[in-house]
Amino acid sequence: MAFQPMPLSRKPAPFDHPEWVFELKYDGFRSLAVIDGDRTQLISRNGHPFSSFTELQKDLRSSH
């Protein structure tokens, strides 16, 4: 995989930069969305596909 999600690390304050969009991660999953034509796949930070989020995959594909 050419891209990997940023590893989890604890910081005293959130990263802040005017040229970046970010959000705090409170709980949940980290994943990469790979959109290739009409195929969308969510991949875990360990490179495993998520198969439980089909509606999210459809929404990502339709918004692309």
Q: What is the pLDDT of residues 2-60, one digit of tens each?
A: 666 677 778 888 777 889 877 666 777 778 888 888 889 998 878 889 888 889 888 88
Task: Give me the pLDDT at residue 42, please.
Answer: 92
What is the C-alpha separation between 60 and 64, in angstroms, rounded? 6
Cα 5 to Cα 12, 29, 34, 62: the distances in Å are 20, 11, 12, 23
The H-assigned helical ranges of 1-64 are: 54-63
The b-or-e profile of 20-33 (16+ CB within 10 A means b, else e) is eeeeeeeeeeebbe
pTM confidence score: 0.55
